[in-house]
Every structure is written in structure tokens, then in C-alpha cells.
Amino acid sequence: MTELSIVGRSVPRVDALAKVTGKAKYSVDLKLPGMLHGKILRSPYPHARIVSIDTSEVEKLARVKAVVTGQDAPEERVGHIRDRYILARDTVRFVGEAVAAVAADSIEAAEEALELIKVDYEELPAIFDAEEALEPRASVIVHPALLQCALTPQPYPLYRFEPDRPNVYIHRQIRKGDMEKGFREADFVLEHKFSTPAVQHSCLELHNAVARPEPDGGLTVWDSTHILFKHKADLCRLFRLPPSKVRVVSLYIGGCFGGKAGTIVPAIASLLALKARRPVKLVFNRDEVFVDGASRAAMTINIKDGVMKDGTLLAREMRMVLNAGAYSGSTTLVTKNATFGAVGSYRVPNFKLDSYAVATNDPPTGAFRGYGSTEVIWAVESQMDMLAAELDIDPVAIRRRNLLKEGDEDVCGMRTCSMGARECLEKVARWIEWDKESPREEGPWKKGKGIALGNKYTMPATRSMVHVKVHQDATIEVRHSAHEVGQGSGTALAQIAAEEFGTSVDKIRMVFTDTALTPYDAGSVSSRSTFHTGNALLRACRDVKRRIFEMASARLETQPKDLHLREGVILVQGSDKSLRVADLFAPAGYLLEGGELSGNGTFVGPLESEDAETGQGKRPVTYYAHGANAVEVMVNVETGEVRVVKNGTCFDMGQPINPKLCEAQMEGGMGMGIGGALYEEILVAKGEVLNPNFLNYKFPSSLDVPACGNVKSMIAAVPHDEGPYGAKGFSEGGLVAVAPAIANAIFNATGLRIRDLPITKEKVFRMLKSITDKELPPK
Amino acid sequence: MSRKHAIELKINGDIHEVLVEPRTTLLHVLREDLALTGTKEGCNAGDCGACTVLMDHKPVASCLFLAIEAQGKEILTIEGLDQQGRLHPLQQAFIDYYAVQCGFCTPGMILSAKALFDKNPQPTEEEVREAISGNLCRCTGYVKIVEAILAASQQR
């Protein structure tokens, strides 16, 4: 195996200089000539009929250049199930639904204009509880015509409607083995219910888009998102424009985490721009992001396990209910794919899972880092420790016993490969000194250690295309559409290109995420970019190298197979002869042979048939990244405060392209995980978000994470045969196991088991108090 | 009739004359009128720190500071930190220690750290964490940011 020079090295990020000098541009920074500012009027009711909208007062204002309502909005709808008009037509279904929008020459003028729009609503009964809404005789039906909605085409089975449960968007099933037999033969059965709240991505860059109408009736949209081709397709469909007339561009993205998947923002900006015939910038306020930023759906997870005395899992039955909110968004796919969190790690001979996405009049939800695996793994990994406690088995041992091995079949019927979980588990256990007895108390603080396993799948059947061009000066231009949302996709791809061309990263120029310039990519989703865009890039590089070697072989009088490239020079194996790339060009700049020195590469992710009834398939996911977290916590038994003092993460992402950037993802996942474990919860009452701001929705600051010396991020790479240089994909995985590791550590410290996130100070305090009160002698 | 006032602001050593309403924030003037988009808006409520600028060497949430009250002060934004292309040690450290991901918190984070250095050139890790506790970051978990700031302090 040839040694790698750039891939596997921690080169500095290619975008770091622009970002540390404030020069990096985000779509929210754009200012176009004649640009207007858009603002949205939102429904104050969770469920209501729109009786009338009167915009006549606004139309008189000179500073307002466009006002639109549902009547102006496209008839086409958005969502995986196409159930949402971009501006509500007859019915609003959540507090905050967009009802009208204006474009004015300043933000202040736009906000003042909203106050002049008169909307007459007729309130309707609303439903907020997912279990209630799940019932066949639910008191309120959120989408009476759900079954008539068109579906966004997917290559794999996704939709399983439940006609007799009118509020179910989708029901997903996995069936394997004989549950009755499994539970009957088990020595011990344990059943618990877990829950996770709605949480908000809280990307620092607010949701925004800038839309500019073009003279030919088309659109250019600068879009803060991670899936620009999907947005382009939606915009073409919504505004009945051919693909050649719609251009979508993403610059740098100030964080995404799945929150910017929805098309609402660019669509409303486009609607205003087309109406005003001027560019429009639409930026959500922070409270709008909380309400209409597609937060993560609250979930309840029931798990019933049948185990042998030695901890071997015989049967596992799971039921998940997601409160998807008023529109289906991406939560339909989340409901299907979240289940892989329960599939990727353990061997279970008898398995039954039902997962429901339920419509309510809560705000709509969507994709969030982990795509549901975080919530499912919260439940599974808490339960594993509870089983261990009941059976008096070590938590690490019980996981080892049940871990899938290479070649095992998982509960969906997929053969396990590139399975590094075992080594990750060992590494974090060793780092936290799992077997070592350590002091357990420090004044009112009780200390404990906890471990959890994690996995993150990457979805099947997606594709990426890359175009590569070699310039006269032997610099390599890579055109790709893998968004830079902060994870470092541009750097990883530059490293792959540099490796292929035997050069350094500074010789690689990236042109990214512009549908007019860069080829199709399914987007920076599902931890897929390194694998899919990376593979497409490899093929593009090899395509252009083939051309270079063909041209050079004639001039060097040798075979193409004897040639290789290093620093812009074509070298001949076992000879002094060489040719510079520049020599293939005339001094004036054209390629002597004509045309350009360019190549294309396409990579299509695997697609195998899948049974919608049983979830069985040879390849329901492309691959899994595997990992583990070990944490040490301190719990103050007087106040209930929990501090995470140590965190060790280890992940198998296949060959790491850039180890430091992988570490950075593990550390970021730790931060987000601590937030989800201890603090974060979107509080909703009667459909209204009570804490739509950073004052009342807390996520970790620099004071809420362990000291640098107590954080360790490790890699235990198991190469994947199909990945570029053996790489898989990574980013989401760093998050998924943090919360259960913390809960397991709290149990270890105090004997308290909390099954509902977040584990707030109040919850811990109340639990402690209820224990001590019970022990108090009667007065 | 215009409600605007003509004011003079001193930013990164340059004098700018701008027309502002009394309610206009410094953040708005920087981004909209002066094209200094390195200073970011994250919440417009003083909670996230993305809008941090230095005013007479002290970190300030520019989203809560009225432009009209910023007259007579020395304002430093991220654009004013590097000297003719020579990076400040903090900027170099953020590159060298992989402390940048999406980059949106980065300008505010670097300026808060600079304000700390101006008072306390050799801070402890705890002091660094305290100084940047008003700069929220969703990407990094703060680990490499703190390492970068400590490394930059050791180079002075």
C-alpha cells in the first residue's frame, strides 16, 4: 500500500484565513444593488382558518415594494410529504406559520408594514400531544387531506401511511425473528420509557436567503443551506421555472446541523423578489428560528428487552413516537432513519420496532445532527446500563458481549463491516480508567463515570459529481457541491485532490456550491460528503490524469501506465525523462491538443431493495461510523447541579482524512451533547414557544464544558473498502453517545436514573429530595 | 423629513461619517453602512457575542450599543486586527490550532480574547474561559478555541 503524503495529515483548514480575518462571506453578508428587506407576518394561533387578509394599508406605503399572501404563493407545496404552502392558504396549523410577507427598503419599514396587515382568523381546536394525536379517533385532524398530498420521490421505500390513524405522517417497521419466543426464553425482561425534548440547532448564522430576479424571468438565490440542489429543484417546481433559469449559490454557512434543510426561506425570498422585481434579503430573527427553523422533534422511546443472565440480548422491542409538528418537513425521513441508531451496534436475534411521525399543532420539525439516532441511542444506551445494573454485570462487559462483529447480520439483515466499535469502547474505557477505583466524593459533590456506545449511519442511494480542471500552472481546480457548513469538507476534498496529483493543498483551488458552476451533489447531509463527494473527486482526478498521461506518453515515448505526477511534473518510472504540465500548453494559455485539461467523476451510493413491512434489506445504509464516549461527572447532592469534568470520545470513521478536523467534530459533538443532556429544551405551551431566545434556551458556553486537559478525542479507524482511501464519513457521530454516557455517570455517582432529557438541576434536585424526604423520620 | 443625525465614528483608525437614526445600533451601521460584515448578528439581544467589537479596548455587544453613543470612542472590529496582511498572534493561533469551524463566532471570539490580553497577557485557562463566556459557539465545544488563545498568549 503506497504511503500517503497528505491524506491522513492534519493540514490547516483552507478557509481558516478568510474566517479569522472576517473576510469570509456568508449569504447574510450580501448587499446587492437595489436590494430590499423581507419580513414575514406570522399566525398567532396554533390552528385557525384564515377568513380574510387585508393588505390595502400596506400597499399604500411608498417604502414597501411588495406584499404577498397565500393567494400569491405557489400552489405547489414543500416537504417530504408535500403538505405545506410557503405562505398559508386557508388554514394555519402552528403558532408562527407564515401568513404574509413584505419587502421594503429597510428592515424597520418592513416590520412597520407588517403591523398594518389585517388578518381575520377563525380559531379551530388544536392538538398538541403526540400520543393523543396518534390515536385513530384523535380529537383534531391536522391534515384532513394528508393522503392526497404528493410525495417527494425517494429511491427507497419511505412512506407507509396509516389511513386509520389520520395524524400519522409515516409509520416505519422493522421485524426480525420471533418476539414471543425471544421473551419466553429470556431470563430477565426489562421495560422502560425514555424521552427527549424538542431542541434547536442554534446555528450562529440566522436562517437567511437573498433572492434576485433575473431579466429572463429566472432567479439567482444565495442560500444558507446544506442541500442547494434540493432547494433548486423545489424552486423550479414552485415557480414553474426551468432548471436553466434557477441558480442557487451557497457561500460559507454559519452552522447548519440540519436546520437549514427546509425550502421556506429561499422560497419566500424568491416570491418577494419576483413580485417586487428587485433583490430581496430575508433574514429570520432569532425567535423566528426557534419557531420556524425546523427544530428537532420531541421523541418518546419505549424499549422492552429480554436478556439472559449473562447479559446476552435475546429480544428487543421498541416503539418510537415523534411529535413532528404541523408539517412533515424532513421528519418523515428522520422517523425512518432514526431507527438505525438501534440497528448499527448490537446483535439481537429477535427484534421488533415501530416508529411513528405524528402531526400536531406544535411548530414543524426537521433534521437535526444525528437525524434521530441521538434520541434513539439516548434510550438504548441508558437501557444497556440499566440491564447491566439489574444483572450485576459491568456496563462495558455487557456491551462487549452484544456488539456486532465483522460479518454478523444486523437486525435489518445487513452484513456488518468496517466495525470499529470494540476498539473505540476499549480506548475510552482505558482513558477514563474505567477499572480503577477513584475517590467518589468531594464535599457535596459525588463523582461517577459513565460509558456509552454510538453509531451513525449514512443514508443509501445518494450521488455526487465532481469536475476537476488542471490549469497551465499545474494548479488543480475542483468544482464540487459539498457545502462548507463548518465541518471542513473543502479541506478534506483539497487533501484528496492534492494526494491524487502529488502536490500540496495550496495548489488546489476549490469552487463550491453554485448550481451554475458546480455539478450535482446530494448535499452535506448524513455524514456523506467525504465518502461520496470524495469518491467522485477521486474518479474525476483519475479521469483527468488519464488524459494527461495519454498526452504526455506520446511526447515522452512511453506507456501511460509508466507515468506519475509530482508537483506539476509528469515523471517516467525508472527514467530521467519528464515533462511539465505547463509544457502541454502554449505560452498563450491554451492546451496544445485543444479543449481543456479536465475530468469528471460520478459516485452513486448503493441502492438495494428494502422490504417496507420488515425493514429487511442487504444495504439499507451505506456504512456506519462507530464510536464511544466515556465521561466523568460530578453531581452536587445539595443543589442537583451536574458538571461534566472529563470526556473521552473515540470514533471509527474509516481512514481519517484530517485527524485534527475529526477531533474537532468529536469536541463539537461533546459540546452539543452536553447541551442536550443537561440544558436544552424548547418549551412549548398550547403550541407557542415560550423560550425562543438564547436568554431562556441555554446551550453550553466555554464554562459548561470540561477543561482542555480533560477532553480527549481518539480515532480507531477501520478502513472501508469502498471509501476514498478507506474513509467513511463523520461529523454527526461525535454527538450521539454523549447524553447516555452522562446519564450513566450520574447513576454511577448517585444511583439516580433519569430517563427524560434534559437532566436539569431541578430534576436532579427533586429526585434527591424525594429520596431524602422518604428517609426522614415522620415528624 | 429625515429623522437621521450625521455622526462621526472612529473605526479601525478610520473616521467615517454616517447618517443614523437614534435607534440605529452600531452593529447595523458596521454591517449595512460601512460594509464591515466581519462583525456578525447572531441574536440581536446581547446573548451570543457574535457582534462583539472592542470599544476603547473593552468588548461590547454592538447589537445593544446605539451608534449615536459610539461617537468619540475608538472602535476595533475584526477587519482592523491584522496589520497590512500581518496576522495578529490570535488570528494565527486560531489557524494553527484548528479553532475555526463555521467561522461565525470567530471574529467576536478573537476580539474578546484580545481584550483579555490587553488586561492580562498571561491568563490561566480559567481566565480565558471566563473572558469568552459571552461568546457562544455551537461548532467547536470550545476546546481548540481555548487552546489557541492560550498558545497565542504564550507567544507574547
Each residue of A58-96: pLDDT tens digit? Answer: 999 999 999 999 999 999 999 999 999 999 999 999 999
Query: What is the mean predicted confidence (pLDDT) over A424-441?
Result: 93
DSSP letter assigned to residue A139: S
Nearest to A291 by CA among A249, A333, A262, A320: A262
Strands A246-249 and A219-223, by their bridges, are parallel
Residue B89: pLDDT band with limits 50, 70, 90: very high
Q: In Å, how far from its chain's centre is CA A21? A: 28
Count other C-beta atoms under 10 Å from residue A766's C-beta. 12
Say yes or no: A494 and A597 in one domain.
yes
Last residue of a domain, one of A292, A310, A337: A292
Last residue of a domain, one of B49, B80, B111: B80
Residue A2: pLDDT band with limits 50, 70, 90: low
Cell reading at A308: 439472559
Is there a cis peptide before residue A560, judged by omega within 30 degrees of 0?
A: no
Nearest to A382 by CA among A419, A341, A413, A423: A341
Say yes or no: A471 and A575 in one domain.
yes
User: Per the CB < 8 Å rule, is B98 touching A703?
Assistant: no
Angle between helices B89-96 and B143-154 (to 10 degrees): 130
* Distance set, CA A661 to CA A502, A721, B99 (Å): 22, 22, 10
Query: What is the mean predicted confidence (pLDDT) over B124-142?
Result: 98
Residue A366: pLDDT band with limits 50, 70, 90: very high
DSSP letter assigned to residue B88: P
Say yes or no: B69 and B11 in one domain.
yes
Write down the pLDDT at residue B156.
63
DSSP letter assigned to residue A546: H
What is the residue type of A197? P
In whole numbers, what is the pLDDT of chain A averaged over residues?
A: 96
Spell out which residues of chain A touch residue B141, defining contact as CB-CB under 8 Å: 667-672, 700, 705, 711
pLDDT by residue (tens digit) across A526-535? 999 999 999 9
Say yes or no: A596 and A629 in one domain.
no
Query: What is the mean predicted confidence (pLDDT) over A293-307?
Result: 98
Residues 130-149 of B with CB under 8 A from A: 130, 132-147
- Residue A439 above 90 pLDDT? no
- Residue A1 above 50 pLDDT? no
Say yes or no: A531 and A671 in one domain.
no
DSSP letter assigned to residue B81: T
Write down the pLDDT at residue A154.
80
How many structural domains compose chain B? 2
Is A545 a domain residue?
yes
User: Per the CB < 8 Å rule, is A667 touching B144?
Assistant: yes
Residue A284: pLDDT band with limits 50, 70, 90: very high
Give B138 to chain A, closest Cα distance, Å: 6
- Residue A779 above 50 pLDDT? no
- Residue A565 above 50 pLDDT? yes
**Helix (H, G, I), strand (E, B), or coil: what is residue A511?**
strand
Residue B1: pLDDT band with limits 50, 70, 90: low
- Residue B35 above 90 pLDDT? yes
Count other C-beta atoms under 10 Å from residue B13's C-beta. 9
Residue A684: pLDDT band with limits 50, 70, 90: very high
Give B110 to chain A, closest Cα distance, Å: 8
pLDDT by residue (tens digit) across A338-361? 999 999 999 999 999 999 999 999
Say yes or no: B27 and B53 in one domain.
yes
Query: Is B95 an interface residue toward A (CB < 8 Å)?
Result: yes
Domain span including residue A236: 27-124+204-256+260-292
Q: In Å, how far from its chain's centre is CA A496? A: 23
Say yes or no: B59 and B107 in one domain.
no
Residue A681: pLDDT band with limits 50, 70, 90: very high
DSSP A329-359: TTHHHHHHHGGGGGTSSB--SEEEEEEEEEE
Strands (E), A605-748: 623-636, 642-652, 684-685, 688-689, 711-715
User: Per the CB < 8 Å rule, is B98 touching A21?
Assistant: no
* Distance set, CA A166 to CA A147, A170, A738, B50 (Å): 9, 10, 36, 44
- Residue A196 above 50 pLDDT? yes
What is the residue type of A599? G
Write down the pLDDT at residue B20.
96
pLDDT by residue (tens digit) across A124-158? 999 999 999 999 999 999 999 999 999 888 877 67
Give A447 to chain B, closest Cα distance, Å: 21
Q: Which of A430-444, A489-503, A678-692 has the lowest mean pLDDT?
A: A430-444
Say yes or no: A348 and A476 in one domain.
no
User: Per the CB < 8 Å rule, is A694 touching B82?
Assistant: no
Percent of chain A with pLDDT over 90: 95
CA–CA separation, B55 and B80 (whole Å) = 12
pLDDT by residue (tens digit) across A698-748? 999 999 999 999 999 999 999 999 999 999 998 999 999 999 999 999 999
Say yes or no: A536 and A482 in one domain.
yes
CA–CA separation, A605 and A155 (whole Å) = 11
Write down the pLDDT at residue A437.
81
User: Per the CB < 8 Å rule, is B32 touching A252?
Assistant: no
Is A733 a domain residue?
yes
Write down the pLDDT at residue A736.
97
Residue B71 belongs to domain with CATH number:
3.10.20.30
Query: What is the mean predicted confidence (pLDDT) over B128-145?
Result: 98
- Residue A776 above 60 pLDDT? no
Last residue of a domain, one of A579, A604, A629: A604
Write down the pLDDT at residue A770.
87
Contact A28, A283 (CB under 8 A): yes
pTM of the model: 0.97
Is A448 exposed, middle or buried (CB count within 10 Å of its CB: 0-12, 13-18, 19+)?
buried
Spell out which residues of chain B touch residue A25, defining contact as CB-CB under 8 Å: 37
User: Per the CB < 8 Å rule, is B41 touching A695?
Assistant: no
Is A229 a domain residue?
yes
A-B C-beta contacts closer than 8 Å? 173
User: Per the CB < 8 Å rule, is B95 touching A708?
Assistant: no
Residue A302: pLDDT band with limits 50, 70, 90: very high
Say yes or no: A433 and A347 in one domain.
yes
Last residue of a domain, one of B26, B59, B80: B80
- Residue A541 above 60 pLDDT? yes
User: Per the CB < 8 Å rule, is B133 touching A254?
Assistant: no
pLDDT by residue (tens digit) across A659-672? 999 999 999 999 99
Say yes or no: A624 and A749 in one domain.
yes
Query: Is B37 an interface residue toward A (CB < 8 Å)?
Result: yes
Give the residue from chain B lying closest to A287, CA to CA.
Answer: B43
In A606-737, which ranges are continuous DSSP H helix? Answer: 659-678, 733-736
Residue B130 belongs to domain with CATH number:
1.10.150.120
A281 forms beta bridges with A37, A210
Choice among A610, A732, A762, A775 that is catalytic: A732
How many structural domains compose chain A? 3
A732 is a catalytic site residue: yes
Last residue of a domain, one of A578, A604, A630: A604
Best probe of the A interface among B143, B147, B154, by most A CBs < 10 A, is B143
Contact A625, A527 (CB under 8 A): yes
CA–CA separation, A112 and A104 (whole Å) = 10
Domain span including residue B139: 89-154
Sign of the CA dihedral B86, B88, B94, B96? positive
Give the residue from chain A lying closest to B125, CA to CA.
Answer: A707
